[in-house]
Structure 1
Amino acid sequence: MTLGETGVDALRALLASHDLQLVLVDDGAAIPGSYWGEPEAGLIGNTVYVRADTPVHSALHEACHLIVQPPERRAAVHTDATDSVAEEDATCYLQIVLAARLPGVGSERLMRDMDAWGYTYRLGSTRAWFEHDAEDAREWLRERDLPVR
């Protein structure tokens, strides 16, 4: 599912509630700060860059990298935001939780899209990881007062 299918208003509001900015770049334009290359989302400072063909899971994943970081680290982010395996796991978990807040997306759809894109987990699927093997990620988020459901 792409942002062109869902629109960006709900995502923009969600990110604003975490003091982040969402910038929609023109179709065909380079996406600043994209780690994986187009059409994947990019990060620079407190800003998430996307295009209409950016997958929703990509936009949420990159945004969650910023959400899990303390504000003083966000300003230095450019393209690669990962600090540790624990932070990456928390990012993956949080993107699933926040997908439930996006109309027309939801956690179930996001997990299917994550599997289709190539996220890999020991238990074989994003859903299995989320439901049965993500206690470390939940605890990491709880310790920072971030949502776990």
Structure 2
Amino acid sequence: MTDPALLFDLAFLLAAPVWLLMILAPGRRVTDRVAASPLTVLPVLAVYLLLAVPVLPELWAAVSRPDLPGFQALTALPNGAAALWAQVIAWDLLLGQWIYRESRRLGLPPFLTSPLLVLTILLSPFALLLFLPLRAARRARPTAPVPL
């Protein structure tokens, strides 16, 4: 059995290079290619599977009949908590890639997008709540993408 603490750490480490590219190297060809690919989450999902399979009965119970005690029981298990973390990392990464691509498409400057991406890593719902009005405002007045 693989150490859940090690896999917990590995989940973010596998996503970190994509985040670094989007935050520190926006507009570069390699960054745009990487951010356009949904395959970036596959390594994180592999970690998720390694963590989720050993607790699949508990995971299935928590998601098929969701209630707070069921999720508490799942997160009390090292593999359960780490699997949920890996799932969050994967979805946050996909959300961050979408924010990055939309920001590029709409011509939002990196000095605005990069902090949003950092916030997406930390508290993605807040980042999305900030990004959606920015996106709507920018879509209301189309502009050419900002060169970097």
Whether TM-score is above 0.5 comes out as: no
Classify the TM-score, shorter chain. under 0.3
Q: Which has the higher contact order (CA 8 A, sep 6+)?
A: 2
Greater fraction strand = 1
TM-score relative to the length of structure 1:
0.25
**Bigger radius of gyration, 1 or 2?**
2
TM-score relative to the length of structure 2:
0.25
